[in-house]
Amino acid sequence: MQDNFGRTIDYLRISVTDRCNFRCTYCMPEQQTFLPRTELLDYTEIALIAARFIKHGIRKIRLTGGEPLARRDVDVLIQELGRHVQSGALDELTLTTNGSRLALFAPILKESGVRRINVSLDSLVPARFNAVTRGGDLGQVLDGIAAAKRSGLAIRINMVALKGVNDDEILPMAEYCATNGFDLALIETMPLGDGVSGRTGQFIPLDKFIEPLRKTGAITPLNHRTAGPARYFCVESIGLRLGLITPMTHNFCGDCNRLRLTSDGKVHMCLGSDFHVDFRDA
């Protein structure tokens, strides 16, 4: 598939649910209203849409949310989509998770053909993690990450850069990732989502966020690419692969290769636009 700007579209992000067991301050308000369950696509519908998109050239699928591992029986969907990896029709099936249910799901992910996952982790300080996620248990997430590592999944930690919240944690987080053999992706906070306030004050450009890391030695660009918008670097002092996702300071729309399927069946080209096509009705 090619769009009107000549961009090849081969990546589909599927939001399995809009619900989440966390309420990260930059993502959702504390009192979030979710879609009625009857409006969600069921797993058969998601699998059907995915199969059709694969026929049209989608090579990578990422499950996301909300929290994808929080939807009941999601292993059924993961196993179904995993068949396309096993048949070679899909290059990659992956997911982004908050990690809270990873201890349970890591072996299932691995068996279903998932090779790498992204886990969101904004702080290694328990009280701070609990405050940012409004209730998350850091120990549970770290246990989940350890289980994923034991299962042989490659892991990238996603850390949203938040001024005054975690901008003193870049060094410990980099060290934690390097020691465990994980990649680390830093994300600039984006003004997305309804009812979330205070983000403008928490915005910090990644150039500034990684200053303490620069002081440890060279950060050299790598050719490594994943399906997403991260630019990768090597932090030589600790041998860390570092991804920078900079929607605000380095726009990456020209390289966009993705479609997004919402949990109620709408296909969007862009998170920044409301334009969509409703596949549930179809």
User: Rule CB under 6 A: which residues touch ligand SAM?
Assistant: 20, 26-27, 64-65, 67, 96-98, 120, 158, 160, 187, 189-190, 192
Q: In the numeric block, which tokens belong to residue 204?
A: 């910090």
Report yes or no: 253 and 6 within 8 Å, Cβ to Cβ. no
**Alpha-carbon gap, residue 50 to 62, rounded angstroms:** 11
Q: In the complex, what is the shortest distance from the CB of residue 67 to ligand SF4, in angstroms, rounded to a whole number? A: 5
Q: Which residues contact 215 (CB under 8 A, 6 or more apart)?
A: none
Among the listed ranges 59-67, 147-155, 164-172, 199-207, the one in contact with ligand SF4 (CB under 6 A) is 59-67
**Alpha-carbon gap, residue 42 to 170, rounded angstroms:** 40
Report yes or no: 268 and 259 within 8 Å, Cβ to Cβ. yes
Give CB contacts under 8 A, 24+ apart, made by 49-53: 49/261, 49/265, 49/279, 50/12, 50/14, 50/81, 50/84, 50/261, 51/84, 53/12, 53/259
Q: In the complex, what is the shortest distance from the CB of residue 109 to ligand SAM, in angstroms, rounded to a whole number? A: 14
Of the residues 49, 54, 65, 263, which one makes contact with ligand SF4 according to CB under 6 A: 65
Q: In the complex, what is the shortest distance from the CB of residue 249 to ligand SAM, in angstroms, rounded to a whole number? A: 13
Of the residues 20, 49, 153, 204, which one makes contact with ligand SF4 according to CB under 6 A: 20
Asked whether position 11 contacts ligand SF4 by CB under 6 A, the answer is no
Any idea what DSSP says for residue 222?
-
Closer to ligand SAM at the Cβ: 98 or 263? 98
Q: In the complex, what is the shortest distance from the CB of residue 143 to ligand SF4, in angstroms, rounded to a whole number? A: 16
Amino acid at 260: R
Asked whether position 228 contacts ligand SF4 by CB under 6 A, the answer is no
Asked whether position 99 contacts ligand SF4 by CB under 6 A, the answer is no
Binning the chain into helix, strand and coil, the percentages to the nearest 5 are: 30, 20, 45
Closer to ligand SAM at the Cβ: 94 or 98? 98
Of the residues 11, 22, 105, 176, which one makes contact with ligand SF4 according to CB under 6 A: 22
Within positions 113 to 172, which residues make up the interface with ligand SF4, using CB under 6 A?
Answer: 120
**Alpha-carbon gap, residue 252 to 231, rounded angstroms:** 10
Residues that bind ligand SF4 (CB under 6 A): 20, 22-24, 27-28, 65-67, 98, 120
